[in-house]
Amino acid sequence: MNAPTTPQTGIVNPPAAFASQAAIGSMDAYRALCERAESDYAGFWGDLAREHLVWKQPFTKTFDDSNKPFFKWFEDGLINVSHNCLDVQIERGLGNKAALIFEADDGAVTEVTYSQLLDKVARLANVLKAKGVQKGDRVIIYMPMSVEGVVAMQACARIGATHSVVFGGFSAQSLRERIQDTGAVMVITADEQRRGGKSLPLKAIADEALAKDCPSVRTMLVYKRTASDQVAYQAGRDLDMLAEMAQQSAVCEPEWVSAEHPLFLLYTSGSTGKPKGVQHSTGGYLLQAKLSMLWTFDLKPSDVFWCTADIGWVTGHSYITYGPLACGATEIVFEGIPTYPNAGRFWDMIQRHKATIFYTAPTAIRSLIKAAEADEKIHPRSFDLSSLRLLGSVGEPINPAAWTWYHENVGGGRCPIVDTFWQTESGAHLITPLPGATPLVPGSCTLPFPGIMAAVVDETGKDVPWGQGGILVVKKPWPSLMRTVWGDPERFKKSYFPEDFKGEFYLAGDGAVRDPDTGYFTITGRMDDVLNVSGHRMGTMEIESALVSCTELVAEAAVVGRPDDTTGEAICAFVVLKRPRPTGDEARQIANELRNWVAKEIGPIAKPKDIRFGDNLPKTRSGKIMRRLLRSIARGEAVTQDTSTLENPAILDQLTERV
Ligand code: PRX
Residue whose CB lies within 8 A of the most ligand 1 atoms, among 310, 418, 421, for a mutation test: 421
How far is it, in rounded angstroms, from Cα 304 to Cα 98? 10
Angle at 220 between CA 424 and CA 227, to 5 degrees: 100
**CA dihedral angle for residue 300, residue 149, residue 86, residue 282, rounded to 10 degrees:** -90
User: Do the Cβ atoms of 392 and 477 come closer than 8 Å?
Assistant: no
Share of the chain above pLDDT 90, in %: 92
Mapping DSSP onto H, E and C, the string for 289-312 reads HHHHHHHCCCCCCCCEEEECCCCC
Q: Quick one: pLDDT band at residue 8, thresholds 50, 70, 90?
A: very low
Res 3: pLDDT = 35
Res 649: pLDDT = 80
Kindly report the protein residue whose alpha carbon is nearest to atom 24 of ligand 1: 397
Task: For residue range 514-532, list pLDDT tens digits in order.
Answer: 999 999 999 999 999 899 9
Centroid of ligand 1 to alpha carbon of 220 (angstroms): 32
How far is it, in rounded angstroms, from Cα 543 to Cα 548? 9
Centroid of ligand 1 to alpha carbon of 323 (angstroms): 18
Region for 39 from its dihedrals, namely left if φ exceeds 0, alpha if ψ lies in -120 to 50, beta otherwise: alpha
Please name the helix (run of DSSP H) or strand (run of DSSP E) that holds residue 435, with its range, or none.
Answer: none
Is pLDDT above 50 for 328?
yes
Which residues, 6+ apart, have CB-to-CB distance to 352 below 8 Å? none
Residue whose CB lies within 8 A of the most ligand 1 atoms, among 269, 285, 396, for a mutation test: 396
Task: For residue range 364-384, list pLDDT tens digits in order.
Answer: 999 999 999 999 999 999 999
pTM across the whole model? 0.95
Residue whose CB lies within 8 A of the most ligand 1 atoms, among 393, 532, 569, for a mutation test: 532
Ranges 31-35, 269-273, 374-378, 599-603: which has the least confidence: 269-273
Centroid of ligand 1 to alpha carbon of 135 (angstroms): 31
Pairing of strands 417-420, 186-190: unpaired
Centroid of ligand 1 to alpha carbon of 536 (angstroms): 9
Which residues, 6+ apart, have CB-to-CB distance to 657 below 8 Å? 612
User: Do the Cβ atoms of 359 and 381 come closer than 8 Å?
Assistant: no
Mean pLDDT of 617-627: 86
User: What are the start-end ranges of the H helices in 359-424?
Assistant: 362-374, 400-405
Res 2: pLDDT = 34
Residue whose CB lies within 8 A of the most ligand 1 atoms, among 317, 394, 473, for a mutation test: 394
Is pLDDT above 60 for 567?
yes
Residues lining ligand 1, judged by CB closer than 6 Å? 268, 314-315, 394-397, 419-424, 445, 508-510, 523, 526, 532, 537
* Residue-level length of the chain: 659
Is pLDDT above 90 for 638?
no
Kindly report the protein residue whose alpha carbon is nearest to atom 2 of ligand 1: 396
Res 623: pLDDT = 81
Kindly report the protein residue whose alpha carbon is nearest to atom 23 of ligand 1: 397
Closest ligand 1 atom to residue 431 Cα is 26
Beta strands in 66-218 (DSSP E): 72-73, 78-79, 98-103, 109-113, 138-142, 162-165, 186-190, 192-195, 198-201
DSSP string, 444-494: --BSBPTT--EEEE-TTSPBPPTTS-EEEEESS--TTS--EETT-HHHHHH
Nearest residue to 539 (alpha-carbon basis) of 274, 310, 279: 274
Task: For residue range 195-245, list pLDDT tens digits in order.
Answer: 999 999 999 999 999 999 999 999 999 999 999 888 999 999 999 999 999
Task: For residue range 144-174, list pLDDT tens digits in order.
Answer: 999 999 999 999 999 999 999 999 999 999 9
Closest ligand 1 atom to residue 421 Cα is 26
Centroid of ligand 1 to alpha carbon of 495 (angstroms): 17
Is pLDDT above 70 for 406?
yes
Centroid of ligand 1 to alpha carbon of 537 (angstroms): 8
Residue whose CB lies within 8 A of the most ligand 1 atoms, among 265, 420, 510, 540, for a mutation test: 510
Centroid of ligand 1 to alpha carbon of 34 (angstroms): 23
SS3 content of the chain, % helix, strand, coil (to 5): 35, 25, 45
Please name the helix (run of DSSP H) or strand (run of DSSP E) that holds residue 530, with its range, or none.
Answer: strand 530-533
Average pLDDT, the chain: 95
Mapping DSSP onto H, E and C, the string for 585-622 reads HHHHHHHHHHHHHHHHHCCHHHCCCEEEECCCCCECCC
Kindly report the protein residue whose alpha carbon is nearest to atom 11 of ligand 1: 423
Task: Determine phi and psi for 128, rounding to 5 degrees.
Answer: -55, -45
Centroid of ligand 1 to alpha carbon of 535 (angstroms): 7
Q: Quick one: pLDDT band at residue 9, thresholds 50, 70, 90?
A: low
Mean pLDDT of 97-106: 98
198-219 burial, b at 16+ Cβ within 10 Å, e below that, comes to eebbbbbbbbebbeeebeebeb
How far is it, in rounded angstroms, from Cα 268 to Cα 508? 13
Res 640: pLDDT = 80
Centroid of ligand 1 to alpha carbon of 392 (angstroms): 13
DSSP string, 250-264: S--PPPPEETTS--E
Centroid of ligand 1 to alpha carbon of 394 (angstroms): 7
Share of the chain above pLDDT 70, in %: 99
Mean pLDDT of 109-113: 98
Kindly report the protein residue whose alpha carbon is nearest to atom 25 of ligand 1: 421
Res 397: pLDDT = 93
Is pLDDT above 80 for 1?
no
Q: In what order do the strands lie in the sheet with 219-223?
A: 238-240, 219-223, 186-190, 138-142, 162-165, 264-268, 276-280, 484-485
| 3-class secondary-structure state, position 127 | helix
